[in-house]
């Protein structure tokens, strides 16, 4: 999964919380923060502390991985898109 903005990270965290069936209060308890802080995080407020974001990701059971962006000389092939395309049988 690729995240390129605070807003995208906030949306991922919200989705992961919802997939677990957790309320904002439960996520707050698991991450050791207040519910109001979770609300601010999910709204992508710029004042949320990075250390608390990392703790929240840990509570959700996910890690943040940093990778360099591919350059023009590094071709990126999206195999999922190819295999899920209507013409996928032509590629096999």
Residue 58: predicted pLDDT: 95
Evaluate if residue 90 carries a pLDDT over 80.
no
More confident residue, 69 or 74: 69
91 in a structural domain = no
Identify whether 86 is part of a domain. no
On whether the CB atoms of residues 1 and 12 are closer than 8 A, the answer is yes
Closest CA to 13 of 41, 35, 55: 41
Report whether 24 contacts 56 (CB < 8 A): no
Sign of the CA dihedral running 71, 74, 80, 86 = positive
Among residues 33, 22, 34, the alpha carbon closest in space to that of 60 is found at 22
Quote the pTM value: 0.68
Q: At residue 83, does pLDDT exceed 60?
A: yes
User: Would residue 17 count as lying in a domain?
Assistant: yes
In a domain, 41, yes or no: yes
- Rounded to an integer, the average pLDDT of 37-51 is 92
Into how many domains does the chain fold?
1
21 occurs within a structural domain: yes
In a domain, 20, yes or no: yes
Q: What does the DSSP 8-state code read for residue 15?
A: H
Judge whether 16 lies within some domain: yes
């Amino acid at each position: 999964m690729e995240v390129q903005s605070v807003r995208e990270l906030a949306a991922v965290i919200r989705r992961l919380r919802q997939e677990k069936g957790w309320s904002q209060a439960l996520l707050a308890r698991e991450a050791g923060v207040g519910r109001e802080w979770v609300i601010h995080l999910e709204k992508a407020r710029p004042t949320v502390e990075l250390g608390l974001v990392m703790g929240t990701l840990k509570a959700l059971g996910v890690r943040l991985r940093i990778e360099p962006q591919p350059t023009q000389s590094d071709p990126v092939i999206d195999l999922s898109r190819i295999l899920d395309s209507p013409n996928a049988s032509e590629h096999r």
